[in-house]
Amino acid sequence: MTKGIALLCLALGVALCASALGVLPAEYAILEGPRGVIGSAGGVLVVVALTLLARDHRGSDVLAAILLLAFSAITGWLTFYGAEGIIEGGTSFIPPAVAEALGRLMFGLGVVGCVGMGALALRRLFR
């Protein structure tokens, strides 16, 4: 079961990277985001696949730290450099500007959490 999920993540990650690089024709994949973010998400899926295949090894700690730091990099980009209105949603009683600010705050807290967990994974690795 784990190998099947790993192969699925690997195939999707390679497809996303190929789409971001323009290898796949435009009618195969409709990209809604910047190509850099799409390629990064594909790279993260490839790292997830490698982590699933390397579990119970010292290499899985390295891959987990890379995965957490990659999550924080992508989320940090969206938080600090994303265009206005990229974070949308919320409830009807919160004004859209406040909802976007709260969304950016929550994404920023996620970045802090992922960096902290990545640092702990690296610390565990170098003990």
**pLDDT tens per residue across span 12-69:** 999 999 988 888 876 777 777 778 888 888 999 998 898 888 877 777 778 888 888 8
Task: Note the pLDDT tens digit of each residue in 73-125.
Answer: 888 888 888 777 777 766 777 887 788 888 888 889 999 999 998 888 888 87
- State the pLDDT confidence band at 7, using cuts at 50, 70 and 90: very high
Alpha-carbon distance of 93 to 68, in angstroms, equals: 34
Q: In this structure, what token pair is assigned to residue 66?
A: 């890379």
Task: Quote the pTM value.
Answer: 0.71
Query: In a 3-state reduction of DSSP, which class is residue 72?
Result: helix
Q: In this structure, what token pair is assigned to residue 36?
A: 């850099």
Phi, psi (5° rounding) for residue 24?
A: -80, 145
